[in-house]
Amino acid sequence: MIPHPSQIQNYEVKHNTTLRFTTNASVSQVITWQNICDTILLVTSATAGFQLFRTAKIRRVRCWTLPVIGQSSSVSIVFNSDTIGSTGDRSVHQDSSMGIEPAFVSASPAAKSLSAMFQGGNTTNDAFFIECPSGSVIDIDMSYRGDALGIAPNAAGNALVGATVGTIGYRGLDGLPKATTLFTVPTSFNWV
């Protein structure tokens, strides 16, 4: 008997990565799923782009901040996702520092909470809230998934600035262009 071909899984494009951002001003804001999926874009014109991945999930968020000598600094992260029938864990992850040791928070969303599951990049639902001072370094461990069924990609939430067609572009964690984002990407990246 000739066995049938084995089952194939995971045809969709997947990407597990750590994204790094540095704040250029104090931050106290919600990051949405659209913001997260807008961090990696396929550029289609000088001002337009589409999300490279349709869905994303957060594995971990880490934030470091160093206080000014003689002062204190604080970092807070809350997985406050909220949609009908499901929420984030709502736990506050906070650290403060004085002197020369940085404040540091390393937090993962609770298992089976909304933030721990794949979410669409076209939704403005909250992924998490972050509060930190200027100069903070933020690492986000992400899992991204594409689509293999031909569903049209999601357009970037905000216009691109001076982008080169056909390239992969990176955005700050707030989904804004280079000139207005509070979250800068590493300087050698194609920042749109």
pLDDT at residue 10 is higher than 90? no
Q: What whole-number distance in Å separates Cα of residue 125 and Cα of residue 87?
A: 10
Read off the amino acid at residue 5. P
Total tally of structural domains belonging to the chain: 1
Assigned domain for 136 exists: yes
In a domain, 28, yes or no: yes
Residue 81 lies in a domain: yes
**Which structural domain, as residue segments, surrounds residue 26?**
18-34+56-150
pTM for this structure?
Answer: 0.90
State residue 13 phi and psi, 5-degree precision. Answer: -75, 130
Q: Evaluate whether residue 3 is within a structural domain.
A: no
Q: State the CATH number of the domain containing residue 145.
A: 2.60.120.220
- DSSP 3-state assignment of 128? strand
DSSP 121: T
- pLDDT exceeds cutoff 80 at 85: no
Residue 12 maps to a domain: no
* Partners of 30 in the β-ladder: 129
Nearest Cα residue to 24 out of 136, 174, 190? 136
Within-domain flag for 180: no
Percent residues over pLDDT 90 in the chain: 64
Is residue 74 scored above 90 in pLDDT? Answer: yes
